[in-house]
Amino acid sequence: MSITVFINGFGRIGRTVLRQLLSTHAHLGVTIAGINDIESLESCAYLFKYDSVFGPYPGTVEVVAGGLRIDGHVIPVHRERDISTLDLSGVDVVMECTGLCGERQWAERGIAAGARNVLVSGPSDAADVTVVMGANDADMGSARIVSNASCTTNALAPLMRILMDEPGVVSAHMTTVHCYTGSQPMVDAPRGDPARSRAGAVSMVPTTTSASSLVTQVLPALKGKITGAAVRVPAISVSAIDVVVRLERALEGDAGAVIAGLVSDHPVIGTTLEPLVSVDMRARPESLVIALPETMTAGPNQVRIFGWYDNEWGFSARMIEMSCVMAARGA
């Protein structure tokens, strides 16, 4: 199947999506109709070519009139603040990666420009539905504006969906140990949350996470059963979830082996038996990689599960896969 996408917003996710479309997901044959970002072509080219997390792009990146030539192929680049002014007819999915899609009017701009669908790279009340692959794929239906939730929700929801089915969930608490992001200052500077006003690269910062509320949107049966918190840590990439779950039925046998069996062959969850650290998980495509040696029980009905996720690379992989699913639904 051939699909055409348009990337609106060329920040961390927009650039990571493009890297994957040109490398690990090149076999999908996705056509990139264009990119839109208010930054200069030179800035877009530089930040795509030289990446502090994933390293230099291995191919060629050049600025040409009206776009970027990457590996010999020209991708048009626009600098519009409102993409509804563009002609996006023929585009199957606008990948809305600006991080600004909080209002319905903004979300509908891609549709107004002629695109068939819009996929938002983050939580958005403006979306028709929030979908996490491996958790509630069937809920997409015919929705034209879909939220891909958050990176942490993509890590948590598929795991909770499995545990809900077997052995059943009574209650749960999740803590995400999350790398710092662009929402935090490099030096102390005012933010709404006093703790988040502190320099992100030098302290562990307790804060909140949207994942605990988003996961109940994705899996309504968890409403009132799960809480969540976050600690931002001085790492530039890769995060983790630490989940303690009270189960309806006891796990029989070794907890790590049981969990490994439950997630075996899952399309977006992986496992590891090795004593890995966060840097080893960089550019892993899974939504979650469970560290099986960290799995433990306290009594027969409580289990602790720890898993890694590359909050940029894995999330971007789901954006691409979700776009393919949306495009495959037909006109």
Catalytic residue ranges: 151
The residue whose two tokens read 């929402």 is 183
Which residue(s) pair with 4 in the sheet? 31
Distance CA 46, CA 142 (A): 38
Distance CA 250, CA 174 (A): 20
* CB 96 within 8 Å of CB 7: no
Burial per residue of 217-249, b for 16 or more beta-carbon CB atoms within 10 angstroms, e otherwise: bbbeebeebbebebbbbebebbbbbbbbbbbee
The tokens for 294 are: 């960290």
* CB 284 within 8 Å of CB 313: yes
Distance CA 89, CA 116 (A): 8
* CB 71 within 8 Å of CB 59: yes
Distance CA 36, CA 244 (A): 42
Collapsing DSSP to helix, strand or coil, 207 comes out as strand
Radius of gyration of the chain from its Cα atoms, rounded to whole angstroms: 20
Element (H, E) at 226: strand 226-233
The tokens for 315 are: 């999330």
Neighbours of 29 (CB within 10 A): 10
Distance CA 195, CA 241 (A): 20
* CB 228 within 8 Å of CB 175: yes
